[in-house]
Amino acid sequence: MNRFGIQRPLSKKKCFLILSLLPLYFIVAGLFMQPVDEILQGIVQIIREPDFLITDYFVIGGVGAAFVNAGVLTLICIGIMYALDMNFDGHTVTSTCLMFGFSLFGKNLLNIWMILVGVFLYAKYHKTTVKRYLYVGFYGTSLSPIVSQVMHIVDLPLPLRLLLCAATGIIIGFVLPPLSTHVHYSHKGYSLYNVGFAGGIIATVIVSILKSFGVTIESRLIWFTGQNQTFIILLSILFGVMILYGIITDPMALEDYRSILRSYGLGGTDYYKSEGGAAVMINMGVNGLVTMLFVVMVGGDLNGPTIGGIFTVVGFSATGKHLRNILPVMAGVLIASEAKSWNITDPSAILALLLSTTLAPIAGEFGIIAGVIAGFLHSSVALNVGIVYGGMNLYNNGFAGGLVAMFLVPVIQSIRDRRARARGGLSL
């Protein structure tokens, strides 16, 4: 781990231990916020409920149960990475934060495992190590609501439902690695949620098959409100400690952070490798504080989904996002809310505000105006595209972001190329 400490780099074991403090922090918080017996009952309820968008586990099982579900699941995934001797890099941080964030409103202790089994079988089929595809598998658990939904097909006997759940999850995991590799070429890294784009395609196919057999996919909105002050304190402490830790442990961290701010943030970027862990910690803390305050200042609710969205930004602060490339995109969504027929505090809109930052590389490379346009377009696509798969892809904004990047980037590049040719006096 480059320059994480002043005297010598931290060992891989210590890096994973530090990362484990994040879920542990919320497990402890959850134990203080809800009695233990209610937490256990809440986790059971979380597992039993359908999980498609938008299902806030703060309502389903209680705040404490949601935090414990997310924390324990994240710790298990960190343990898997450590047991497999994975290299510690920016994607380790990103996948951990996404697993935690989306385990507040869609992923639970039961519904992710068959997808990971499918990824494991894919690696075995191609006679390669599962470490090569593990992060894709973790991201791909965005489709876990499909696994839960199959279990709720009440017209089928229980053994058949269990078999279909397992088969569906395994198929999803098996097709994810090749599809996520393929779709990356369509947006060329300008949308950071690449597996979310692939997940949207898979969800569209599977949900279409289910509907053709008469399975009804109902819309859902379960949304927690009323405890913003509690969550502001909880998150501010965490993000403040991140910033202080980064500054204290490396005297060059602020200079490295400035290097992060100068980068484009294209997909494949790894700030952990290029700038070191201390600068990444500062970037994560700053982005977390700013996005949390953004939500509060526009009048939004802090709850399972929005905290999950904040942690998505925090996670990708290790692999592409920083203030200079996320704020223009978020501003575009905010401007759109003033011009369109929805309010920025609507549940889907506030999630689009946070998760539109998948398009941060567009603002990073092409500038503020391009970023604002990207956010403006993204808000419309994200609020409408989910209808094709009924909320079964938790990374709905990843699918929408991929579409926007495919549409917008070639147009921007063609305009830029034309201007470059004109400046050179070449024939157009």
3-state class of 391 per DSSP?
A: coil
The number of helices, as runs of H, and strands, as runs of E, in the chain is: 20, 0
Task: Provide the pLDDT confidence category of residue 428 given band limits of 50, 70 and 90.
Answer: very low
For residue 222, what are the β-bridge partners? 55
Tokens read off for 128: 């390669």
Packing angle, helices 277-297 and 253-261, rounded to 10 = 60
284-303 pLDDT, tens digit each: 999 999 999 999 999 999 99
Tokens read off for 135: 């992060």
329-360 pLDDT, tens digit each: 999 999 999 988 889 999 999 999 999 999 99
Q: How many residues does the chain have?
A: 428
- Determine if residue 419 is left, alpha or beta; phi over 0 gives left, psi from -120 to 50 gives alpha, anything else beta: alpha
Nearest to 296 by CA among 348, 201, 229, 347: 229
For residue 55, what are the β-bridge partners? 222
Under a CB-based contact definition with an 8 Å cutoff, are residues 314 and 284 in contact? yes
Cα dist from 307 to 161, 194, 199, whole Å:
32, 21, 21
205-240 pLDDT, tens digit each: 998 998 888 887 777 899 999 999 999 999 999 999
What is the pTM (predicted TM-score) of this model?
0.93
Residue 325 confidence (pLDDT): 97
CA 424/CA 406 separation, integer angstroms: 28
Residue 5 confidence (pLDDT): 41
